[in-house]
Amino acid sequence: MIIYDIRSFDKAVDTTFFSCGQIQLDQYIRLYASQDIRRNVARVFIATPEYDTNQLAGFFTLSAGSVSCSDLPETLAKTLHRYPVPVALIGRLAVSMSFHGKGLGSILLADACQKVINASHILAVAGIIVDAKDNTAASFYTHFGFIPLPSQPAKLILPASTFRV
Ligand SMILES: CC(C)(COP(=O)(O)OP(=O)(O)OC[C@H]1O[C@@H](n2cnc3c(N)ncnc32)[C@H](O)[C@@H]1OP(=O)(O)O)[C@@H](O)C(=O)NCCC(=O)NCCS
The number of distinct structural domains making up the chain is 1
List C-alpha distances in Å: 23 to 17, 66, 118.
12, 27, 31
- Which residues have a catalytic role annotated? 141
Measured CA to CA, the distance from residue 14 to residue 17 in angstroms comes to 7
CATH number of the domain at 44, please.
3.40.630.30
19-31 residues labelled b (16+ CB within 10 A) or e (exposed): ebeeeebbebbee
pTM of the model: 0.95
Domain range for 122 is 4-162
Residue 89 CB–ligand 1 contact under 6 Å = no
Count of helix runs (H) and strand runs (E) in the chain:
5, 7
* pLDDT digits (tens), the chain, 165 positions: 899 999 999 989 999 999 999 999 999 999 999 999 999 999 999 999 999 999 999 999 999 999 999 999 998 888 887 679 999 999 999 999 999 999 999 999 999 999 999 999 999 999 999 999 899 999 999 999 999 999 998 999 999 999 876
Which protein residue has the closest C-alpha to ligand 1 atom 34? Answer: 143
H helices of the chain, where? 23-27, 33-38, 74-77, 104-119, 135-143
**Of 19, 101, 33, which is closest to residue 63 (Cα–Cα)?**
33
Distance 10 CA to ligand 1 centre (A): 24
